[in-house]
Chains A and B, each alone.
Chain A
Amino acid sequence: MAKELINAIVAMDGEEATRLTQELLDQGVEGNTILADCQAAMEEVGNLFEKGEYFLPELIMGGEILKGITEVIKPKLGAASENGDKAGKVVFGTVVGDIHDIGKNIVIFMLETNNFEVVDLGVDVPIAKFVEAVREEKPDIVGISGFLTKTFDSMKETIAAIDEAGLRDSVKIMIGGGTVTEDVAVYAAADAYGESAMDAVKLAKSWMGGK
């Protein structure tokens, strides 16, 4: 049964996925068990995305299907289940002065699919908020996103502020965004630049592996 649900989600069939969810609930299956199936399905969606078979629309539609399922099972959900150890913790945001979030959201989706815990600071994140989040959340990695060319300086200033707060050595910093290139990472004193969401996952994994 659960296999069918996973297949329906991966095939982007929202109506079938919701129907199967209701069927499972009627059979007395626990909400958390269904959520675990959803998680497995989204991992498969993430895999297909990595392979270049799925694209952004499938990530968005997958999220939409999941939202529908969650609404169906929410009333019957027990305590939230934490699925074991995380691969690492990432604080992520779009720099101050920039409200673009497409790239940021894809990277966060892919990091979460790969078992990273992500604290999403949102868009137009003030420098002080990044510094505070690094201090409070104690992440392993900071991800800074930006689309406007003006944000290269904001990235540089954000990273400098993390440095001045004495927190630079405690984190690895990755940057990315529509106009960001390798040379910007050097300019902004980030540890690395990633061109795609997969790059971000690779970087994060390599940094955690090296710890």
Chain B
Amino acid sequence: MNERFLEKRKRIDDAIALKKPDRVPFFLLQNYMPARTEGLAYKDVYYNIDGWVEANRKFIQEYDPDMYFMIDAPGIGAGPVHDILGTVAMRWPGGTLPDNISHQFVEGEYMLQGEYDHFLDDPSDYLLRVFTPRVFSNLQGLTKLPSLKVLSLGCYGTTVYGMALSNPEVLEALQRLMEMAKPATEFAMKVGMCHAEMLEHGQICASAAPTLHPYDIISDMLRGMRGTMIDMFKVPDKLIAALEKLYPISLGSAIGVAQATGNKQIFIPLHRGADGFMSPKQFEKFYWPFLKQLICDLVDAGLTPMPFFEGTYEQRIDYLTELPAGKCIGWFDRSDLKLLKEKLGDVMCVAGGMPASLLQTGTAEIVREQTKEAIDIFGKAGLIMTASTVIDEAKPELLRAWVDATREFGS
């Protein structure tokens, strides 16, 4: 490992351990921004992965941060994969959105309230034959498959499954699944290779693939926000049972990705546990126990959780003090910096400090002042300077001013 890597790694590790690093580390949330500075469009992350890798390489080297955001953060899988499958639950640039519009999720009740029992009885069967065909329009044929439980019949089950596979709709769905293998793998390999190559140049990727809180899996993907909220009133026990069923998937996928990539930092974007999205009582029942367990289990596995507390978490802050000290990076969006320092200063390293909007609407002077203020609050220990959220539309001159100010005030 080269010197540049070791220097940055120590800086970040010191910040995580709540020690004072040689200077405040800088975490670059480039997301879609390289598209604009390198003459590409947002759609290139979906349809031109070679160009996207190159643009990121240049962009990251130019700003030389201590950590950068995974280059596929804005690319939720390859564009051709979504074209092949007919993705319903997301729109993406160059596919179902114009070339320069950010991908956006189309939330829905893809799983119905009456389907909890099927899901709880056999999640794999439910997800394959009921949920998946709803979120990929070209996989309708999967609805014609017999229950996966038929496979328990071993040799005797071959006829049942063989007959089902001869159905033209099933064949069509299987054909699509085979077609997606190549573009999906190519995308993942190129992203992985880019991250590995960047590491050789001393550039550290903040995490590999993210993992989700079980409640967010249900709310974002399966039942939708509205459906999940109604479930909290109408079928709370089933919701809890589903959270318990999904928990090993959240934990296991994080550990698996860490083992496969060697990246020990685990990005956990938190969505529906924020202030306002549920009452403190609901948080304590449906969200906090799983979040706490996920973070503690990841720490026990020798990993560094990096939860993104999107929105504000000021009402929840006392819960966060229960987490193991000096073991994770809490990336905060809009929570008050002084409150974070006061309550979490000896619990977790805070990533944040710069409202993303200022990098778009502010001036170099305003950005400098904000940087200084954030660093003054934290006193250089336990802070990783970053933006409140992704900086897709930041002005390059303001980003430069911010990077320079972090080095100046953070040293």
* A contact residues vs B (CB 8 Å cutoff): 12, 14, 54-58, 60-61, 64, 97-100, 102, 148-150, 152-153, 178-181, 183-184, 186-187, 196
Contact = CB atoms under 8 A, between A and B. Distances in A.
A60 B356 CA distance: 30
A100 B361 contact: no
Given A57-B232, A149-B392, A183-B362, A178 B279 contact: no
Nearest to B233: A61
Given A55-B276, A61-B229, A150 B234 contact: no
Contacts of A54: 279
B292 interface: no
A152 B361 contact: yes
Contacts of A150: 101-102, 392-393
Given A57-B282, A97-B98, A149-B391, 16 more contacts: A14-B233, A57-B229, A57-B233, A58-B279, A61-B233, A98-B104, A99-B106, A100-B104, A148-B102, A149-B390, A150-B392, A152-B393, A181-B358, A183-B357, A184-B361, A187-B361
A97 B101 CA distance: 6
29 contacts: A14-B233, A14-B234, A54-B279, A55-B279, A55-B282, A56-B276, A56-B277, A56-B278, A57-B233, A57-B278, A57-B279, A60-B225, A61-B230, A64-B230, A97-B98, A100-B104, A149-B357, A149-B391, A149-B392, A149-B393, A150-B101, A152-B361, A152-B393, A178-B310, A181-B355, A181-B358, A183-B362, A184-B357, A187-B360
Contact of B360 (A57, A149, A196): A149
- Would you list the 9 A-B pairs with minimal beta carbon distance, nearest first? A187-B361, A57-B229, A60-B229, A183-B361, A181-B357, A55-B279, A97-B101, A61-B233, A149-B393
A186 B91 contact: no
Most-contacted residue by chain B among A100, A149, A181, A186 (CB, 10 A): A149
Contacts of A60: 225-226, 229-230
Interface of B: 91, 98, 101-102, 104, 106, 225-226, 229-230, 232-234, 276-279, 282, 310-311, 355-358, 360-362, 366, 388-393
A60 B101 CA distance: 29
Main secondary structure of the interface of B (DSSP, over half): loop
Contacts of B388: 179
B177 to A, nearest CB: 28
Contacts of A196: 276
Contact of B233 (A12, A98, A186): A12
A98 B278 CA distance: 24
A186 B361 contact: yes
Contacts of A148: 102, 104, 392
A109 to B, nearest CB: 12
Nearest to B104: A99
A149 B98 CA distance: 16
A56 B230 CA distance: 11
A149 to B, nearest CB: 5
A96 B91 CA distance: 14
